[in-house]
A and B are shown apart, each in its own frame.
Chain A
């Protein structure tokens, strides 16, 4: 049955963003994982609250020689053989809820929460850096083409040629001692920003290449020609015309990129060249827990599970976001079938 538009208001149509939101809201799996992601973020943001009010300790504070009262009994946080206390749940009022993290006797729950802050912050920041750099390079390469495209593409190819983990490890080792100094900007070794810069930089080609392809394709569209003919400067065309049309793609890449960046950070920290002690991240916690894998496997399982759940949530939600935001295939399909929803139609 063909749809007859309302004669008074003209053809009903929602904006692409609204349509995307509707599509996303219909994707219950994506929403569920999105909610899980929000929960995880809330969990790690609650770290200072838990640390101060409940655990009464900090993420780096050791309690090797201390004893705590658990259900009326005195128990050593770390025994004479170096075995840390296991999860006491609420037996000590929330202290050492998940036990101690190893021979240093740090509160595992507090470390898990603060570690998550570091992992998520690095994942987000590194991906933001990657996205900004990749977008700029893709726009330049795709718009100017010619030797500019050639130069940028060769640089990206060079970075891409290195196995990404090995490149990250090599950079991590080199920068571990002296830090990074570029002109007036000095980043001390051990700073979390070193890890962010390494991950952000190394992952640029993985985003820039597909974006460049999109730019090359959009470059041939009439609206670009019209803008150029209208006297728009290259910057105006790139950032005023091309970039808005890339926004949904960039959003999807960004979301999925966070997962990649988090996994990369976990690998670097596990190998000892990412986040440095005494700070923590989930990857570093996996590495530290690995040394006690026989006697205290939870120390590896817990942060590993958090990485798994976060990456899964980001990926599934990102997939849902991509399905929702892909305007060309979905909107075209709907327009051809004449199925643009009328106003007021419940979603």
Chain B
């Protein structure tokens, strides 16, 4: 028996490196994590990606000066230092930010990270016409640079010898610390081409580097050698990661993704399970392989307040009373959590209230009082599965209120911004939308969605076209202040003020999920509300 055991041990040691440690259950460190996405991320370029899929993919690869704590829930909202030694020193009435780069940082290709790389990385955003540029437009010289693409951004001063980075803003910006933690602000080597580098990603600073990309199909990571060599000790807030390699493949059918998890062919799926099988999977695996996660988002129906019939407050309030979140919860197969306000739970400043509990009788009463003469409206939604059904439901509610509706179901790829974000689109009366936080600051909801300053002919995000000068000023003022308890209380008040005007009929926040196979220790997986699953947190049981 002892001889047999020895033979088996030798065989195992010989075979394990070939099959991967997971096959032999060879411990918690090392090996390859396999995962799947339902679609390839928009970009694997930190300067361009503006989706949850892309941010999850690059959270542990490209580090900005600051990052978000690798922690679950609201703990993950905390901004912590990454490539910078500490959080910025904010002076000059909130207009000057000073940071110092860690000394000794390297990229995955061995080149040292310099302070001037930060400046060139921000300039690269403007050269790319990145969707991230609005977050950095308040830097002195940024608007000029955006137009000319030459001369550099005067407001960013760097010293490669000391690692000092000074950023001057044209006006105070209370969200700037959050924005320095966004992936858009990831530091890349000076000279990184200002073009989409998805097929050949730039060198990394985080614990993982993207080793290979098959655009549209798959990509993989290996440990960043510079991380082990130098960065790990300096960037203490970012964990090392447990797996040596990570392989992600695109599996467009989410039912197939689920099957692969259940058959242990894949260890993690980034996409939530399809609505059809969501209840079964939740019942069967919750607590062991499945966990509901709460990213900060809002699902709502917007109403165009600049034209009839939704320029009438009573009509908008009627709609709010008429929409029943209980029905929508079922339409979302139980993944939706009802909400009837602007700031979702988990967002600083959230204070729960409900001004319009469902009451169809009250809704019809308000409609009768308002008695709009123009009842012919167009209802917009996109064609993504459940969102389309939400739009169809909303269309039915509006018909019940006496509107003569035309429902337009638009392909998701062009729904926003080309269609509903453009003033040229006719009949933008009302429709569906969802908004996921860019960062955990309430201004990220109010400014783009509700401030009159955000109304734009293209890329408009204020779909309700609401423009209340008093509230615009409040948003602008709060946006300049650093977020603290006082500001949170004011945002809570603003939430109520807007809901009294009812430009939206919010109906809920959607949950996502972490679904892993039986080998992965679910309890150790971290879900950051902004960046999703943290790849460094995956480990074997």
Residue ranges of A at the interface with B (Cβ–Cβ < 8 Å): 60-62, 64-65, 78-83, 102-104, 173, 176-177, 188-190, 272, 276-278, 291-295
For the complex of A and B, the 5 pairs showing the least CB-CB separation, nearest first, are A82-B333, A81-B279, A64-B327, A103-B331, A294-B276
Bound together, the chains give a CA A144 to CA B332 distance in angstroms of 61
* A272 and B327 contacting across the interface, CB-CB below 8 Å: no
Contact partner of B389 (CB less than 8 A), chosen from A79, A103, A188, A294, is A103
Q: Which of B277, B332, B388, B408 has the most CB of A within 10 A?
A: B408
A-B contact pairs, 5 of them (CB 8 A): A78-B330, A177-B419, A190-B407, A272-B383, A292-B276
* A272 and B409 contacting across the interface, CB-CB below 8 Å: yes
Question: For residues 407 through 452 of chain B, which have their beta carbon under 8 Å from a beta carbon of chain A?
Answer: 407-411, 419, 425
Bound together, the chains give a CA A177 to CA B428 distance in angstroms of 12
Contact partner of B409 (CB less than 8 A), chosen from A80, A104, A277, A291, is A277
Additional A-B contact list (10), CB under 8 Å, known A177-B425, A294-B277: A60-B396, A82-B334, A103-B333, A104-B331, A104-B393, A177-B408, A190-B406, A278-B392, A291-B274, A291-B275
Bound together, the chains give a CA A175 to CA B123 distance in angstroms of 40
In the complex, chain B residues whose CB is within 8 Å of the CB of A61: 396
Contact partner of B276 (CB less than 8 A), chosen from A79, A176, A190, A295, is A295
In the complex, chain B residues whose CB is within 8 Å of the CB of A173: 411
Mark B354-388 against chain A: 1 for CB-CB distance below 8 A, else 0: 00000000000000000000000000000101101
Bound together, the chains give a CA A189 to CA B410 distance in angstroms of 11
Residue of A nearest to B326 (CB): A65
Question: For residues 165 through 194 of chain B, which have their beta carbon under 8 Å from a beta carbon of chain A?
Answer: none
Bound together, the chains give a CA A61 to CA B409 distance in angstroms of 18
A272 touching B411 in the complex, CB below 8 Å, given contacts A65-B326, A291-B276: yes
B108 at the A interface (CB under 8 A): no
A83 touching B407 in the complex, CB below 8 Å, given contacts A65-B326, A278-B392: no
Question: For residues 251 through 300 of chain B, which have their beta carbon under 8 Å from a beta carbon of chain A?
Answer: 255, 274-279
Contact partner of B392 (CB less than 8 A), chosen from A176, A277, A293, A295, is A277
| Distance between A286 CB and nearest chain B CB, rounded to angstroms | 15
| Distance between B478 CB and nearest chain A CB, rounded to angstroms | 37
A177 touching B410 in the complex, CB below 8 Å, given contacts A80-B330, A81-B333: yes
Contact partner of A65 (CB less than 8 A), chosen from B327, B334, B396, is B327
* A82 and B406 contacting across the interface, CB-CB below 8 Å: no
In the complex, chain B residues whose CB is within 8 Å of the CB of A294: 255, 274, 276-277
In the complex, chain A residues whose CB is within 8 Å of the CB of B279: 81-83
In the complex, chain B residues whose CB is within 8 Å of the CB of A293: 255, 276
In the complex, chain B residues whose CB is within 8 Å of the CB of A83: 279
Bound together, the chains give a CA A319 to CA B522 distance in angstroms of 61
Bound together, the chains give a CA A199 to CA B386 distance in angstroms of 28
B240 at the A interface (CB under 8 A): no
* A79 and B330 contacting across the interface, CB-CB below 8 Å: yes
Q: Which of B277, B391, B409 has the most CB of A within 10 A?
A: B409
* B388 and A277 contacting across the interface, CB-CB below 8 Å: yes
Bound together, the chains give a CA A177 to CA B409 distance in angstroms of 9
In the complex, chain A residues whose CB is within 8 Å of the CB of B534: none
B249 at the A interface (CB under 8 A): no
* A81 and B334 contacting across the interface, CB-CB below 8 Å: yes
| Distance between B508 CB and nearest chain A CB, rounded to angstroms | 13
Q: Which of B278, B327, B385, B388 has the most CB of A within 10 A?
A: B327
| Distance between B380 CB and nearest chain A CB, rounded to angstroms | 10
A62 touching B334 in the complex, CB below 8 Å, given contacts A83-B279, A190-B406, A294-B276: no
B324 at the A interface (CB under 8 A): yes
Residue of B nearest to A293 (CB): B276
Mark B392-403 against chain A: 1 for CB-CB distance below 8 A, else 0: 110110000000
* B407 and A295 contacting across the interface, CB-CB below 8 Å: no
B453 at the A interface (CB under 8 A): no
In the complex, chain B residues whose CB is within 8 Å of the CB of A82: 275, 278-279, 330-334
B329 at the A interface (CB under 8 A): yes
Bound together, the chains give a CA A79 to CA B324 distance in angstroms of 15
| Distance between A316 CB and nearest chain B CB, rounded to angstroms | 35
* B331 and A188 contacting across the interface, CB-CB below 8 Å: no
Bound together, the chains give a CA A179 to CA B327 distance in angstroms of 32
In the complex, chain A residues whose CB is within 8 Å of the CB of B406: 188, 190
Bound together, the chains give a CA A61 to CA B396 distance in angstroms of 7
Residue of A nearest to B379 (CB): A278
In the complex, chain A residues whose CB is within 8 Å of the CB of B275: 82, 103, 291
Bound together, the chains give a CA A292 to CA B389 distance in angstroms of 13
Bound together, the chains give a CA A10 to CA B423 distance in angstroms of 80
Contact partner of B396 (CB less than 8 A), chosen from A176, A188, A272, A278, is A278
Bound together, the chains give a CA A278 to CA B408 distance in angstroms of 9
In the complex, chain A residues whose CB is within 8 Å of the CB of B392: 62, 104, 277-278
| Distance between B290 CB and nearest chain A CB, rounded to angstroms | 14
Residue of A nearest to B406 (CB): A190
| Distance between A204 CB and nearest chain B CB, rounded to angstroms | 27
* B396 and A189 contacting across the interface, CB-CB below 8 Å: no
Residue of A nearest to B385 (CB): A291
Bound together, the chains give a CA A291 to CA B253 distance in angstroms of 11
In the complex, chain A residues whose CB is within 8 Å of the CB of B324: 65
Bound together, the chains give a CA A173 to CA B333 distance in angstroms of 29
In the complex, chain B residues whose CB is within 8 Å of the CB of A276: 407-409
Bound together, the chains give a CA A294 to CA B385 distance in angstroms of 15
Bound together, the chains give a CA A65 to CA B338 distance in angstroms of 15
Residue of A nearest to B391 (CB): A277
A295 touching B331 in the complex, CB below 8 Å, given contacts A62-B396, A64-B393, A173-B411: no
A278 touching B407 in the complex, CB below 8 Å, given contacts A62-B396, A104-B389, A292-B276: yes
| Distance between A118 CB and nearest chain B CB, rounded to angstroms | 15
In the complex, chain B residues whose CB is within 8 Å of the CB of A104: 331, 389, 392-393, 396
In the complex, chain A residues whose CB is within 8 Å of the CB of B407: 190, 276-278
Bound together, the chains give a CA A51 to CA B406 distance in angstroms of 22
| Distance between A190 CB and nearest chain B CB, rounded to angstroms | 6
| Distance between B339 CB and nearest chain A CB, rounded to angstroms | 17
In the complex, chain A residues whose CB is within 8 Å of the CB of B385: 291
In the complex, chain B residues whose CB is within 8 Å of the CB of A177: 408, 410, 419, 425
Bound together, the chains give a CA A27 to CA B385 distance in angstroms of 46
Residue of A nearest to B255 (CB): A294
* A80 and B329 contacting across the interface, CB-CB below 8 Å: yes
Bound together, the chains give a CA A189 to CA B407 distance in angstroms of 10
| Distance between A291 CB and nearest chain B CB, rounded to angstroms | 6
Residue of B nearest to A66 (CB): B327
Bound together, the chains give a CA A78 to CA B330 distance in angstroms of 7
Bound together, the chains give a CA A82 to CA B395 distance in angstroms of 19
Bound together, the chains give a CA A272 to CA B408 distance in angstroms of 12
In the complex, chain B residues whose CB is within 8 Å of the CB of A80: 329-330, 334
| Distance between B39 CB and nearest chain A CB, rounded to angstroms | 17
Bound together, the chains give a CA A50 to CA B278 distance in angstroms of 34
Bound together, the chains give a CA A65 to CA B325 distance in angstroms of 10
Question: For residues 331 through 363 of chain B, which have their beta carbon under 8 Å from a beta carbon of chain A?
Answer: 331-334
* B393 and A62 contacting across the interface, CB-CB below 8 Å: yes
In the complex, chain A residues whose CB is within 8 Å of the CB of B255: 293-294
Bound together, the chains give a CA A83 to CA B279 distance in angstroms of 9
| Distance between B381 CB and nearest chain A CB, rounded to angstroms | 9
In the complex, chain A residues whose CB is within 8 Å of the CB of B410: 176-177
Bound together, the chains give a CA A60 to CA B330 distance in angstroms of 17
Q: Which of A81, A177, A189, A295 has the most CB of B within 10 A?
A: A81
* B330 and A64 contacting across the interface, CB-CB below 8 Å: yes
| Distance between B392 CB and nearest chain A CB, rounded to angstroms | 5
In the complex, chain B residues whose CB is within 8 Å of the CB of A65: 324, 326-327, 330
